[in-house]
Structure 1
Amino acid sequence: QVMNVVTLAMPRMNQMIDSITPTTEKRYMHDYNMPPWANGETGRVGSPKRREIGHGALAERAVFPVVPNQEQFAYTLRLVSEVMSSNGSTSMASVCASSLALMDAGVPIVAPVAGIAMGLIFEDGKYTALTDILGAEDAFGDMDFKVAGTSDAVTALQLDTKIDGIPSDVLAAALQQAKEARLKILDVMTAAIGAPRSTVAESAPKIVSFTIPLDKVGEVIGPKGKVINTIQQETGADIAVDDDGAVGIVTIGSPDSSKVEDAKTRILNIVDPPTAELGATYTGRVVNIAQFGAFVNILPGRDGLVHISKLGNGQRVARVEDVLNLGDEVTVRVDDIDDRGKVSLSLIG
């Protein structure tokens, strides 16, 4: 018996890999735990041992081929298989449990994956393949052959043998037996849950990912992260901005989908600000003050300049701060929009 738990998180929670390989991070992780009491024994429960690490890696490799890529499903996925009791292959049970848990979590996997452990008895020159071996058959038998896959393909294999070699025809027959058993297991699994749920659970973050022009990444982040931090604080959404050298990639997540949409709208308005209309009147807020005038935000992502010469109703103004202060709400009119899109404003009232 194996219980599998799926956790969905933002891409920034990917596991960082520190190795000599080109791979630097991993978004699909599977951990396997088998405490001593699962075998009816006593013992110390601590960090995972070599066997647990190996079983977890096998189950991870078996299911990974059907997991959607980052573009199709933007989440980081962590699966934990907790063995509750054991008298057979718990690694193959973890494969089955992983598939069921992923579908229940709303992860659009390509197809469910099941696993089966095959055994072998060799005596007097005769080979007998065993299907779904128990603990005793594993201990006293001559082979432990784990086969995992979908109804159409094998995704992972692991072979341990206690004899010098296995004839190819015997191995082929064992693979055929494993396929028949795998299909029966898949029938039972699909009877429990036939397809991935259409949406992720309410407790999971709602994540959207989209691209922006590379030259807009700096505007979205802002100086020292000011812009993106402000959006996160005001919307409550978690935002990550990255790039692949060609385009910027924005990922937004929150348990509340309305917060995700709010943050997305704000970012898109920065990337492609709405156009101000010549002669139109807007109520905005002073966002910056310079010696030559005040900048007023009139639309999301769109600021305009009220020149100091337009602040005194025809009278000379020595300092902008004598009329306007940062954060003031003012009503302005659009007087001019140049060919570069810069907006010139005048103060009303």
Structure 2
Amino acid sequence: SENQGKKFAVLSDILGDEDHLGDMDFKVCGTKDGITAAQMDIKVDGLSYEILEQALTQAREGRLHIMDHVLEAISKPRADLKAHAPRIETLDIPKDLIGSVIGPGGKIIQGIQEETGATITIEETNGIGHIQVSATSKAIIDAAMNKIKGIVAIPEVNEVYEAKVRSVMPYGLFCEFLPGKDGLLHISEISWDRIENIEDAGFKEGDKISVKLIDVDPRSGKFKLSRKVLQERPARRD
């Protein structure tokens, strides 16, 4: 300015007038412990130490004043956003699993988006698949993330899964225990009681059933499931 910094006034303003009328627009944000971010626009060649010192001091006083009122309403940040607040979550997966999430012609990822209402993007960088899921609520994003995690999950022997009966065969039930992963629940593994006919087990397609992954065939990679191991074994009769 014409006074070359000898005569100045630092105004605290959160309305934006200083951006139009003043020589400096200085925004400072932070906590009681210090500054977390700052942004400054100036219309002059430079600022003196005195001006900058006063601006930072005044910004701190204003910040603490506002925070005192904020803390009266809420003493600490919430652990999570409100249920209906828009949000974005990310997940990194191995490169070789990107195709499993996308599916043939994008069938899998499009199906997840249509079913949940979430928006999903996948990019591959340095051998890692970066998945970004955005949604308008926690329920939607949780539903989408659960489906994706189910697809990329590696089945673990001795793990218990909530499965869905896909087909009923004379020798047992084929159950989907993870998205896209089916295993055989042999008729002998349904119950400790002997079952002569699969119809006697009382299961039909679409039924939900808790199963345990008891083995993976080393040659074929087929999954073997059991339901009876989750039940109490009857005492042996003498």
Q: List runs of 5+ in structure 1 lacking aligned partners.
A: 1-119, 287-295, 306-328, 331-335, 345-349
2:106 equivalent to 1:225: yes
2:179 equivalent to 1:298: no
| TM-score, scaled to structure 1 | 0.38
2:99 is paired with a residue whose SS is helix
2:85 is paired with a residue whose SS is coil
Query: Per-residue displacement from partner, 1:118-166 (whole Å, max 9, x unpaired)?
Result: xx9959x96353433799x979x984453423241261223334xx876
Q: Distance in 2 between matches of 1:149 and 1:238?
A: 32
- In the superposition, relative to structure 1, how do residues 219 and 178 fare at CA in structure 2: closer, same or farther (>3 Å)? closer
Deviation at 1:284, TM superposition (A): 2.3
1:229 is paired with a residue whose SS is helix
Q: Distance in 1 between matches of 2:86 and 2:10?
A: 44
**Aligned residues, how many?**
179
Q: Distance in 2 between matches of 1:159 and 1:174?
A: 13
| TM-score, scaled to structure 2 | 0.51
- Work out which of the residue numbers 250, 255, 258 in structure 1 matches 2:131: 250
Q: Distance in 1 between matches of 2:13 and 2:47?
A: 18
Q: Distance in 1 between matches of 2:54 and 2:117?
A: 58
Deviation at 1:191, TM superposition (A): 4.0
- In the superposition, relative to structure 1, how do residues 122 and 248 fare at CA in structure 2: closer, same or farther (>3 Å)? same
Identify the residue that residue 239 of structure 1 maps to in structure 2: 120
CA contact (8 A) 1:209 1:250 kept: yes
Identify the residue that residue 127 of structure 1 maps to in structure 2: 7
Query: Per-residue displacement from partner, 1:6-50 (whole Å, max 9, x unpaired)?
Result: xxxxxxxxxxxxxxxxxxxxxxxxxxxxxxxxxxxxxxxxxxxxx
1:339 is paired with a residue whose SS is coil
CA contact (8 A) 1:121 1:129 kept: no
Q: How does 1:1-349 map to 2 (within 5 A)?
A: 122=3, 127-132=7-12, 143-144=23-24, 146-150=26-30, 151=32, 152-153=34-35, 155-161=38-44, 167-205=48-86, 207-255=88-136, 257-272=138-153, 274=155, 283-285=165-167, 298-299=175-176, 300=178, 301-303=180-182, 337-342=217-222
Identify the residue that residue 196 of structure 2 maps to in structure 1: none
Deviation at 1:217, TM superposition (A): 0.6
Q: Distance in 2 between matches of 1:203 and 1:192?
A: 21
Percent same amino acid among aligned pairs?
30
- In the superposition, relative to structure 1, how do residues 200 and 128 fare at CA in structure 2: closer, same or farther (>3 Å)? same
Deviation at 1:218, TM superposition (A): 0.5
Deviation at 1:208, TM superposition (A): 3.9
Deviation at 1:220, TM superposition (A): 1.4
Query: Per-residue displacement from partner, 1:77-119 (whole Å, max 9, x unpaired)?
Result: xxxxxxxxxxxxxxxxxxxxxxxxxxxxxxxxxxxxxxxxxxx
Q: State the 4+ residue runs in structure 1 displaced beyond 6 angstroms.
A: none
Q: Distance in 2 between matches of 1:256 and 1:236?
A: 10
Deviation at 1:234, TM superposition (A): 3.7
2:38 is paired with a residue whose SS is strand
CA contact (8 A) 1:121 1:142 kept: no
CA contact (8 A) 2:85 2:138 kept: no
